Every structure is written in structure tokens, then in C-alpha cells.
Structure 1
Amino acid sequence: MATDPAAELPFFYGSISRSEAEEHLKLAGMADGLFLLRQCLRSLGGYVVSLVWNVEFHHYSVEKQLNSTYCIAGGKPHCGPAELCEFYSNDSDGLVCTLRKPCLRSPDNPIRAGVFDNLRDNMLREYVRQTWNLEGEAMEQAIISQAPQLEKLIATTAHERMPWYHSKIPRQEGERRLYSGAQPDGKFLIRDREESGTFALSLMYGKTTYHYQILHDKSGKYSMPEGTKFDTVWQLVEYLKMKPDGLVTVLREPCVNRNNTKQTPVVPSGVSIKNILHGRYSLSNVFIEASAKWLIIIIIILLLNTVHFFQRRLRTNGYTPPPGVPLGGSKEIKTSPPTDRPMLPMDCSEFVNPYHDPNDLKKFFINRDQLMIDEVELGSGNFGCVKKGVFKTNKGHTDVAIKVLKSENEKLVKDEMMREAEIMHQLSNPYIVRMLGLCQAECLMLVMEMASVGPLNKFLSTNKDKVTVENIVGLMHQVSMGMKYLEEKNFVHRDLAARNVLLVNQQFAKISDFGLSKALGADDNYYKARTAGKWPLKWYAPECMNFHKFSSKSDVWSFGVTMWEAFSYGGKPYKKMKGPEVISFIASGSRMECPSGCPDRMYALMKDCWTYKHEDRPGFVKVEECMRVFYYSISNKTPPEVTADAAEPLK
């Protein structure tokens, strides 16, 4: 637990459940403001503040942000959990009361390590050793500098070290293993399904075996059907040990896998780094076991990539798996014939980042000699300009767009540009412009992937005769998928507009310009801006203009305005109205009229996006479903499986 930033806090209990936290608070007297800190199971690296007020318990999630700060939903970011608790001891800032009295751990009650805590150090070191070939001080520095990214990376494979993980076995074999030996209620195992990257839970109850599919959504989260979502499989399992979440019973006793060598830890059981350093265990033994394991993993990855390549080729030739294939099914059916349109990311089963490089974790800053900058300007603004350029790498030369900061603006804008770079560097989605890195040379430069056709509004206004309604629907569907990804990652864009949707070609759109973006603390949360500044009011929701509150729901409003721009072929929203006139127009219940030629279904979605109260407004999950269903209804393509209510109006 030494690596946990909260380990030195006397009121930090580690990985305990909500009910255990409440029991500790009860035993400590239930005084108003009594509190403790514990690990959060739902978010990697996060915490929960458990607090007493008026003889009731209140639990506040503390999210770890991508920039390694911590914040409670709707609150200010802090550099660590200690600083966060100190702040809330003086200012409630949305809590029911200030943190008044810490509930201290007793000396005989050590911090409880979580499942991942017991594996993390060994997995980090082994990953750095195998991937970057580092040892000693260089390894330690790499771990320190890249810990947040590395921890999330290795956490997704930590389930392979768990005793309940049985790798790829058939359903019948899973049942045989559960029936072997004692058969208590709650005995369980996790196994791989036929479809790569998906899992099934097999559970014993009343001497009967039940099988559940573990859902894996596009954002990478795991859940039971209609259940709580988690970043990893092992977090989901730990949660299901406390709550059934739709299962017939909670998980209790793991069905231990004694046959799979993948269960063997990288460093054998009972062997610590400390023991190795003191010569109690041979490092060569560890290295032999680790090398064999990673060789197997590399072979599996290569095989899976080959399978996915052929799956994508099948899809382009008119094949797609049918909706509702039974658990473990692998049947395929032939669907509509292929079109002449080139394959897009939305046609693939997974997103393969064209800029992916295993060494990306080490790269954020780009050397000046890797860039060739053209004098041609793609655009300009108060901060500087965007120029066309070439990024030279070992893989070859790549066309890029380079946002160049004017030297006279450096002090004013540098921090904002750095923040934009930090945000964009964390995002990897086919419908979001990829940030490749920062270059600090004669001036600060933000290097981004090129979307050569340019802004959507300009393209539509100059190519009205070439763009069909179906084309626009397809592009806006892609924007909705990009925004759904941001919503799932707890980011609010704050500047979604047709000018910030860039086209790679006429059929492929990407969201850009994250200068106003903010990372939110939790789902359904909002960011409150301190000052108004220069804001694009015609794209802003009422709560943004009136209360300076921004959320994914306010981005939904902006998406509706962006749709209006697209179906108006680059028209300007609200015509010649000024900001105050727009506010009054919206408050009166009025909305922009349906653009000429816009399908009724799309205008109905716009109006849903323009629902005045943000709590009644649909989220991007619903918006994307509606866009998807309509897009596939007017095209030749067969849609993937959607929920039953996706085809219905959002009201």
C-alpha cells in the first residue's frame, strides 16, 4: 500500500465496502462531520469520502482525473487526497457539512489492500522491463513518470491473475468445474466467450448453474445487463461479491482454476521485490516465468489481430454477425451487398488507432527536427494560427496540422494550450482529432492529425449540390459517436459546433478544438465556470448562459445546434440575433425552424436536444442510438444490434 497517495492518512481504511465504512462510523459515535476515506471500487485510483450528518451516512466519490488531480463531483481539483480532505475540512463546497472529525483507524486495524494493490507493483515492473527493456533506476523513473497511464493499462489484464479466471473454456466445461467438489451457493468462475475480448460469468445456486454474459460497451466498461459499469472485469467481480446486481445471488466462493498457468503471478507467490533485492530469490527464475508469459500474450495478440483483420474484411464484403446470437454463439449470416463507399471506423468491430505506437506512453513532447512546417495557413485566431506540416517518424512521414502559438500571446495562452494538449492526448477515438504531441521550440506548437477537407460548415456551404441528406445524417451520426465517447470519459467539450467538426473526406468527420473542454468528476456531473469570457452563446444551453454550468447534457444542446447547421448546409443559427435576444428567444419556448429538406425525424431529435431543463434532455447514449437507427434506415447497410427503445422518439 506504500504506493497509494492516501496510505499515510490515519483515517484512510483502504479497500473496505460501504457497509463496513458505515460500521466504523457507527462505532466511532456518529457525530456530525465524522468522516473516513476509503478506496473507490468503481474508478481506478479513486476514493470515497464517507461522512456522517444528522445520524445519516453520505458517501462522496473522489475521482482521479487524467491529469492526476482528484475532485469530488462538481468540486475543485486537488493535487492529492490529503489536500482534498484538508480543503473540505474548511469549506463544505457542496457536501452536507465540512469534514469535522476524522474516524481514525485503530492500531490493530491496518489498511486493507485491494485486489489490484497486491498485484500492481510486480505487474508495473514486469511491463516496463518487458516493453521498454529497462532495469534499475531507469525502470523506477519510467514507472514514476508514467504511473497513471501504466496502471490503467495493466489493470485491464489483472483479472488473468485471479483464481476465478478460467480463460477460454466451453460452457459445459465451466459447469463441470463448478459441479466438481463442494457446490455452495455463490460458487463462481469467469471464462472467455467465443467473441474476442468478451466474458461470461458462470454461477452456482441451488445446485443449478446459471450463465450470464458480461457486457462490454464501446467505452471499454464492463457490466451485467442493466447493471453498474466498471473499468475492469476484476472490479465488477469485487462489486458482485457485495451486491447481486441482477444475479440470482452474490458471488461468494471462487471456483479456483488449477489448470491454467496464466494464473501464476509474474513474481511467484510469496516472492516480493524486496526478497529479490536481498538475494532470497533468483531474478533469473522470475525472468524465465515472465518471459514465457509475455511470449504467450504476444502470440495471442498477433492471432487476435489476424482474426479481427479477417472479420473486418468479411464485414466489408457484406457479412455481419446477427443481433441476439446466443451466449457463446459464433454463427454468421449474409446481409445486404457491399456499397462502393470506403470502409469507415463505424463499419469495424473495433477501432484500430492509425497513430498507435507502443512507445506512445513515452512520447508527449516532439522534437523540432521531426517537424516540417509549411507556410500555408489552414486557419487563424487570437491565439495564433494553424499550419500544414509533416511529422517525421520511424514509420515514415505523416501529414499533420500544427497549431502555432503567437510569441506575443505565450504568457496568456500557453497554459490553456498545454491544458488542451493534456486533454487531447488522453483521447483515442476515430471521431475525435488525434493529438500527436507538443513541440516547444521557437514557439509552442500543438501537433494534431490532419483532416484535410476542413470544417463541416464551410464544406457544406460550398458543396451543396454534392452532399445528400444521407451523407449529412452519416456525418452527424459519427459526431454523435464521438460525443458519446467523451460523455463516457466524463469530458464536456463546451464548444461543439459545425466549425469544430473537421472532415477527413466527404464521408468521415472528426470533432476538434478542445480549448474550452473540462474533465468532469463523475457521470451526470457538471462543471461551473467562474467567469463568462468569450463564449459561443448561440450554441450554449440555457443553464450555460444563465448559471455558467456545463455538462454532457449542455453538449447535447450544442449537438442540436450543430445538426441544424449541417442540415442548413452551413447556415448561421439564429440569423442576426444578438446574445441577449437568443436568451429571450429560447426562454419564451421558441426554437429554430426546421431547415428546408431536413427529415422530420432529424428535426424531432434537434428539438429533443433543445429541451429547456437539462435533467429532461437526452444523453448522448440516446442521441447516438436515434442517429444510428435513422442512418441505417435510409442506407443500404445492416445496423448492429440496438436496444428496443432506440427506434422510438426520445420524449
Structure 2
Amino acid sequence: MNKKVDDISWYHGKLSREDAEDLLKQESEKNGLFLVRDSISSIGDYVLSVIYNKEINHYQIRRHVEDAFFSIDERIKFHGLDVLIEYYQSTPNVLCEGLILTEYVKGSQPPHDSRLLGRTNLLHRATLGGSLEVVSALLKTDKPPDVKDQEGRTAAHLASMKGYDHILERLIQCDANVNLRDSAGYTPLHYACQNNFPSTVKLLVQQGGANVQARHTDSGRVPLHEAAERGHIDIVRELISLSAPTRPRNKDDATPAQLARMNNHIECAEMLENYKHRVTRTEKSKWYHGTLGRQEAETMIKEYATKNGTFLVRFSERNKENVLTLYYDEDFYNYIINANKDGFLYIDDGPYLDSLEHIVEHYSLMQDGLPTVLQYPVPPKPKPPVPEFSTMPRPKRKNKIVESEPSKSHDYIPKCYPSQSQNIPLTCDIIASNNNNYNEKDERYIPLERLTRGALIGEGEFASVYEGTYLKNNGQMIKVAIKTLHPEQMQSSKGEFLREAEVMMKLDHHCVVKLIGLSEGPPLLMVQELLPLGSMLQYITTNSDRINPNYEFKIWAAQIAYGMQYLEKNELVHRDLAARNILLASKNQAKISDFGLSRAFGQGHQYYQAKEGGKWPLKWYAPESYNYGQFSNKSDVWSFGVTIWEMYTFGQTPYGDLKGSEAIKLIEEGERLKQPESCPDHIYDIMKRCWEYKATGRPSFQELVDIFTTDSGYMNIKDLVAEVNLV
């Protein structure tokens, strides 16, 4: 037995409950006699076994997160198993009335990664001296790499403080844990950021698996806070490139940008404030369920998969908030997704993020306070289609404006991938035969052997779009976009695909995407001109700092109106005009695309009457369209107004996260989308004219062309658009 508080040889490793009880009884029956052992039922946890009133009590010691934080019954969290035991050795009546830990059964010292403090040894001294040779020799003798000194620092802490990458790399190769905190509450990554060592930061994260969101014990500051407060802009850039969120919060809710500005590091603050996050690779359609109760959500997860990390996102009627429901270790966790005053979303004390998609992507990469990362999304069950036409009553309209959520999510955004240099001939990759009715004099029908497929640049529900090349009859090689149906859509969507091609073959206008040709396959291929900047929606959400709303937006608006006027002259309605379906050839040239829903009026008619419903983009539709299935150039004008609104909000979703039917109800009550912050009053007045309830009250596309090519409100841009032959 030993009474010394500073001696911590009370650890007995993998000892069963029965063996622990036998060992204690053999030693003494004195109150407070104890030992600590590994938990058999919960890996990483420990058990305190102690005698009290001739009985042996067992207390589970739970380890928190990835570091040495422990508690008994969630009462008080202690940094270090040694600190926890010392507390109960010096504080009576906490575990139960009259009990205090006194003597212990002699064992060994607890594992290094469970302790807060230790003693300086040769490994620490060799690391501080920068001697890789000595460090390597010590590690070969099975010297534990995570042993701590008197300040709770491991060799990894010391190497990171000095920027000794050569030693740190060797420690990592020997399985050093780079996420341990010292007695001051810092991890090695905190120190690398404080001391401005970008290469050390990269090494810790990429090779060592350092947690970029590791929080300081007391302040809650993450490594990005440390770098920003000191103005270490190269460290800030490195952390962002390593997927660190740009708006984490400390315990005072301060972000790194705010700390940088408080310390007069203006360049660093502005870089963080103006940073534009990339478009996420996840989509709401994979995990968002709309209104769903807690019990329903948990039942749905059980039916789908009972794997750790299975999740969905839902809207709670009770809380009027979106909720993340997560399955882990046979239990369910429900996290409210809050929004701050600026519209950013967050969970608990997590970082401020742009949208639900960014929430899911962030917690798919790191736990950051959750019990596990998000891994298995539960897709929503197919819902009944929207009724073909609404017959809802039209209440008296009011003059209210809808507050739009700042979400960047879109039901119809194609997924985009980084460019790749994979030139794979279509004849080898997709098809084994060519059944084209090919005419040497008609290049609208293209043999597959003249096409080469490159990188995937867009993907929708029914089709994929690839960058590619086309060898023309005259030997000229040109870059093209190749659109093909997904194999599972080949039968059901073939008619729509051919109808879109038929429409595009008739169109020839510099503000409309040009169809170069068609390959009948199988599979069906549509060959279109390649527009280098891609979707306008994607461009404005990722390049807002490069856009002048008084220049590009007005040029694009004029060009869209001009292209729509061309469709009107050809007695066509688009029916899917939206920012996602505008492509950019350059900053000065926008073109209308995606004619999958386009229809001709029919001789003697002023509108197209839809005979069946489908997956309609209701938030872009005029009242006569969603109520009666009537589509005309004036219903396209309504969609034009929504498209311009998308521009001036830099890609926000109309009506936020409301369902299409919910947006319809607001429109019927007289509400309209709110004026975007960057939108001038006279442009917003144009939008509101486009959203007149009666179609006859809306402007024509000719009038819209005139308005945007001679914008007296700010500047005359007629000469600017003339550069691209608009007028």
C-alpha cells in the first residue's frame, strides 16, 4: 500500500471485476482503498474500484473526445486521469457520503496518453536539442513517444514549438499522438500556428492526423484563432486549404477574423471575411426530409441502416428549426441547426457555416463535438407528385416581402468536378456499336468515332455532361460539351432528350447555347458548344468578389432577355429559366441552355397548355403556370425576374428552404421575394413588375432588353453589350 499523493502507481491495466475485488480484499478492508483498471465494456475508459463499508464499489471513468479528459458520472471533467484521482484523494464526500480515496494497491503508472503531467526525459531533451539521431535511437528502444514532461508536453509539442519537421515526422512514424493537450491546454498544432510554421502545420494535419478544430481547454480557441490573432496569414491559408472552417468560435463566440481585426491584422481579417467557400459535393436530395417528427426520423433510420454515422436532416415543427438526427452506438442524437443574426448556420458551439450542405459536409469530415462523423445519409422516401394544377383559393393579396434564407442549396444544381485530363474515346468507354443514320453532308448527326470524352463537368438527375473534343469533317478539332442520359434513364427519358435536341436544332442565336449535333447511339449523345465558365449559378456563388453587379449582372440580364425575345419570336416557351440554366462563355457573354421543358405554342395559340405534371421548378413559376398549367412568354418573364433575383443575391435559393407548395401559398397571399442587398431600387422595381399576378401586367422581353441595354439608373451599358454583338 502507498499513501503518497504524488505517486501514481495505482493502475492495474486489464484486470477483470472479479480479480480487482479479490486483490482489494487480500490487501485490506479499509475504507478508501482503491485501484484503477481498464474498462472491459468500453474501450478507452477506466474503472475506479474502491472499498467502502466492507463492500467494493466500481465507478466508470469516462474518457471524453480524443484527448485525456475524464469524468465519473459526468460530474466534473478533469484533464488527466492522474488529476482526477488526485482530486478524489483530496476531496471527501463526493463519490458518496464519508468516502475519500486513501491508500491504493500498488500497480504501475497509467498510460502516458491518459496523464496530464510527467517528467522530462531524454526524448524531451533530444527533441529540444534538434537531434534527429538521438531521437531515432531512443524510439528504437521502444521509448513511448507520448510521455509527458512536467508541463504536460510530449515530444510532438516540443518539436512543433520549434518547427523541427524532421523530428516531428519521425515521431509521427512511431505513432505519436499529435492531438494530446498539455497542461496549458494546447495541442502541437496550436503551437505550430502560434510560432508561424506553415510546413509544420501541413505535416501535423496531413501525416499526423491533427484535428484542425481541436479546442483550447479554457478559451475554446482552435488553431485558426491562434494564427489569425497573430496575423500569420500563411498559416491561415494553409489551414483553410486543409479544410479548416473559416468561422470557428471560441467560448466568447469570437471568430478568427474578429481576433485579427482586434489586433489590427487587417489583411488577414479581410481575407477571412471575404473568403468564398467552394460548392459542396453533397446534395440535400440525399438526406433532407422536410417536416419530420423525431420518432419518425428514428424509425426511418432504423429501417434504413443501424450503422454508426447514419443520419438525416429534417425540419422540426416543434422547434421551427432544422434538426440533424444521428445514430451512434445504439442511440440517437438530435442536434438543432441554429442560425445566427447574419444567417450562418451552426450546431452547438461549432463553426458558423453557409448552408445545410456545408453543415453536412463539415461534419462528414470531422466530428467537431459529435459522437462520430456523418457517414451514411438516409434518403427521403419518394413523395406523391405535386398535383398537376393547384385549385387553391386566391385570398386577398397583401404587399409583404418574403425574407429569404441565405441557403446556397438548389434542387437542380448540377454536380461539378475538377477538370481532369482523361481523354477516353467514347467508342471504347460507353458504346460498342454505332447506329447513326449518318450523312456525310449533315454534320448534325455525328459518328461516335469523331468524339473523345474528357472530364465530367456536370451531372443532373437524368443526364451527365462531359468536356470533350469533336473532329469535324474538315479535320478541325474543337472542344465541345457532350451530354448523355444515365443508363437507367435511357428508356423513360429518351423522348424528352430527343425533344430537347429537336428544339435546340432549330435555334441559332448568340445568346442561346448552340447544339452542334446529335449522336443517336445507343447511348443518345447531344453535342453542344462548350462554355468555359460553366453555370452562371456556380460562377456567382464562387466568384462574388470578382463581379461588379453594375456591369456583369446588367450585361447578362440584357443577354438573357434578348435570347428569350428570340425564343418568343420562334413561338417557344422555355419553362425552366433559372440561374442554373444560364451558361457563361465569358464574363461578357451569357447564354440560355437546358431546353428539356421547352415547348412550342401551337398554331393560333398564345400559350402552351401542359397536359401532365412532373418535377416542376415551382419556385420559378408564375401563378397561371402552377394553377392552370398555362405557359407563355409572360410566364417566362416571371421566371426571368426570379433569375435576376438569384444574380443579385449571388446564388441564394428563392424562398429559402420552403417547399414549392409553401412558396405558392406566399405568392397567392401577395408576398414577393425580398430586395437583395446589392440590388439597386430601380432593378428591384423591374423584378416586382415581372412578378405581377396578372400576366398582362408584366413587361415584355423587348421592354426588358431596352431597360437593361439603356440603364439610365447607373450607367449606359449599351456600348458595353455591343462589344458582344448584343444589339
What is the TM-score when the length of structure 1 is the normalising length?
0.42
Which structure ranks higher in relative contact order (CA pairs < 8 Å, sequence separation ≥ 6)?
1
TM-score by length of 2: 0.37
Q: Larger radius of gyration, structure 1 or 2?
A: 2
